[in-house]
Amino acid sequence: MNSRIREIWNMWKNRDLEDCDLVRELKEIENDEEGIIDRFYKDLEFGTGGLRGIIGVGNNRMNIYTVAKVSQGYADYLSRTSTSQSIAIAYDSRINSEVFARTAAEVFAANGIKVYIYKELMPTPALSFAIRYLGCSGGVVITASHNPSKYNGYKVYGADGCQITTDVAKDILEYINRVDIFLDIKKRSFTDALIEGSISFIEEEVIDKYIAAVSSESLSNVELNENVSIVYTPLNGAGRYCVTRVLRENGYKNIVIVKEQEFPDGSFPTCPYPNPEISDAMKLGIDYAIRTESELVLATDPDCDRVGIAVKNGPDYKLLTGNETGMLLLDYICKQRNMLGTMPNHPVAFKSIVTIDMAIKIAEYYGVEMQEVLTGFKFIGEQIGYLEEKGEKERFIFGFEESYGYLSGTYVRDKDGVNASLLICEMFAYYKEQGKTLLEVLNSLYAQFGYCLNSQRCYQFEGVEGLKKMNMIMQSLREERLAEIAGRRVLAVKDYKKSIIKYQDNTEEVIYLPKSNVLKFILEGNSSIVVRPSGTEPKMKAYFSVSAETQKKAEALRRQMEEECDDFFMII
């Protein structure tokens, strides 16, 4: 153990900590050098996603002290231009989420920043809405999205209701780095601040306005059949109240909620990995659907900004990917807007660079401009903001990313699981009225636009050595000039960190997007691979986009791509 880590470890050990769980953990790791190093070798990384990490003791963990330090830095950043600042705070069902939310509120209040905080857990998009509705200078939501229960996080939002982007995160980080985690924190008792008015609970009116805004995005012109049956699970997270309310207010009465996953529980007892992208998270919901003969299963992640679905497929149920659901929604929205006469002039939609390319063809068919942005819904929110600045926000009709994030309105600047749940249910009801299933509609899109398959691979890299290995992999991929992958020639490499496209003939072209540590390999035959380290988790992701004459050929090519990636990542 180096002297710097030992110094920080001793500082925490000799401090009279407020949280008895942290005191106990310090004692438990006293003779565990590896455990000490992992908790104290660096500060928990702050970036465009804010903080995300394992709950526990140390500067590389989520606890009341790391939360207070980041809140103090953010408060100093907000106060640099004006003393008249305000902030909105929300939290989900995770372990210590409410504690962390109140800790942040105490710091902001002590720094003269007016705090508006939800009384109970609320979806992340409700936080984005509250910031804009209340005219706040920024916002914070305590959540680790879909991570396992040992994680929590701290997402930071700007006055536009959008997650902060790279430049803002760097500016805030400068202020955070000036803060001593124990000596420089200002705090005001939550109760005292509530009494004196520097902290206020967000009124029910704001929630009502949010629900009304979601409902205004409905495109349904079908009188709902009471037999439209839906199973919904909030996965023990924050979605239950808003999702069920917006569905019932829009005519969906036949909703069955998964009892074991209905109420908040940060330990996620029946769903250790509460991510609607994976089948285990959907299993209980599908079991309920089989028993109740329901035709559609919805699952929102713990902070309810993403939604996954399963649809009846004969005697079984099929999970749809984020790409498949996104393409169905894009097609439905375009079709309905044309039918209702609400398609704007020069309509525009957005998708991330790793989202299925077939969406571009669907958009073109309806005369919609499809623009690509970097991975992260904040970049879609940013583009909506640019449209608003030009007085053109009505042009926006839809934004989505492959990781189950969707948005059809401009009332928030983040993906919205409540909005998506409503649209999915009405799309399902619309096609049911015509005697079609969502799978039949999806297959008709493939027949019209050609078969395309997207998938992703995640590679875990824990601790100090894991971070080094991720950096080595990205460096090697940049230096190696791969000629082919899975038997397909590499036509070009898009390096978003260097903002250039390198072609095989050694010519280059500038990329006009924010810099990001991402590489995209463009292969012949309209296929590609995107590789990027996660900004919030100790892992790398590889995204595979495959086009082929048939599904069978596409799946074979995808497997070959995945195997070559596995081999490469293991060798480095």
Catalytic residues: 145
CA separation for the pair 145, 268 (Å, rounded): 13
Identify residue 172 by its one-letter amino acid code: I
CA separation for the pair 482, 498 (Å, rounded): 18
**Contact residues for 30 (Cβ-Cβ < 8 A; gap 6+):** none
Exposure string over 293-305, b if 16+ CB within 10 A, otherwise e: ebbbbbbbbbbbb
The secondary structure of 295-344 as a DSSP string is: SEEEEE-TTSS-EEEEEEETTEEEEEPHHHHHHHHHHHHHHHHHHHT-PP
Determine phi and psi for 443, rounding to 5 degrees. -65, -35
Strand 114-117 with 86-91, pairing = parallel
CA separation for the pair 144, 274 (Å, rounded): 10
CA separation for the pair 39, 37 (Å, rounded): 5
Task: Give the neighbor-by-neighbor strand order of the sheet with 199-201.
Answer: 51-54, 151-158, 138-142, 86-91, 114-117, 199-201
CA separation for the pair 278, 261 (Å, rounded): 16
- Terminal CA-CA length for the chain: 26
Q: What tokens were used for 76?
A: 């100093």
Summary count for the chain: helices (H), strands (E): 18, 23
- Asked whether 276 and 301 are in contact (CB, 8 A), the reply is yes
CA separation for the pair 456, 451 (Å, rounded): 17
> How large is the C-alpha radius of gyration of the chain?
24
Alpha-carbon distances, residue 66 vs 12, 88, 465 (angstroms): 12, 19, 23
Determine phi and psi for 400, rounding to 5 degrees. -155, 160
The full 3-state SS of 4-56, as one line of letters, equals HHHHHHHHHHCCCCCCHHHHHHHHHCCCCHHHHHHHHCCCCCCECCEEEEEEC
Residue keyed to tokens 């809405």: 129
CA separation for the pair 189, 23 (Å, rounded): 22
CA separation for the pair 372, 494 (Å, rounded): 13
Q: What tokens were used for 330?
A: 């894009």
